[in-house]
Amino acid sequence: EAQVTQNPRYLITVTGKKLTVTCSQNMNHEYMSWYRQDPGLGLRQIYYSMNVEVTDKGDVPEGYKVSRKEKRNFPLILESPSPNQTSLYFCASSLDPQNEQFFGPGTRLTVL
């Protein structure tokens, strides 16, 4: 089954404790993105990747890192999480930026 998986689905952590949210897709897509969803703000792109070892900032990259060492995986790293990073996070993948993006199920992160 073609899908995007994210782990964990739910995470409660404390300020400053490094965490990684994993994302994996099995569709051989080149374009992958991370978004955060906050009430009233819609989906905001954090980082995107056009291919292996090619990443670029979206609209809200501060406080986040990503890497793309393999085509299928695109982890999101919060090195020192803060409460304002409490949000619902989605990973997505597509053939390219101008085609349908397939979204993962979301990761709900709470930073205390």
Partner 1 sequence: GENVEQHPSTLSVQEGDSAVIKCTYSDSASNYFPWYKQELGKGPQLIIDIRSNVGEKKDQRIAVTLNKTAKHFSLHITETQPEDSAVYFCAASEGTGGFKTIFGAGTRLFVKA
Instruction: Find the Cα–Cα–Cα–Cα dihedral 101, 65, 15, 12, rounded to 10°.
Output: 30
Question: What are the residue ranges of helices labelled H in the chain?
Answer: none
The CB-of-12 to partner 1 minimum distance in angstroms stands at: 18
Distance, CA of 50 to CA of 1 (rounded, Å): 23
Total interface residues for partner 1 by CB under 8 A = 25
User: Hey, which residues between 17 and 56 contact partner 1 (CB under 8 A)?
Assistant: 31, 33, 35, 40-45, 48, 50, 56
Of 18, 84, 97, 112, which lies in the binding site for partner 1, with binding defined by CB under 8 A? 97
The CB-of-108 to partner 1 minimum distance in angstroms stands at: 10
DSSP state of 1: -
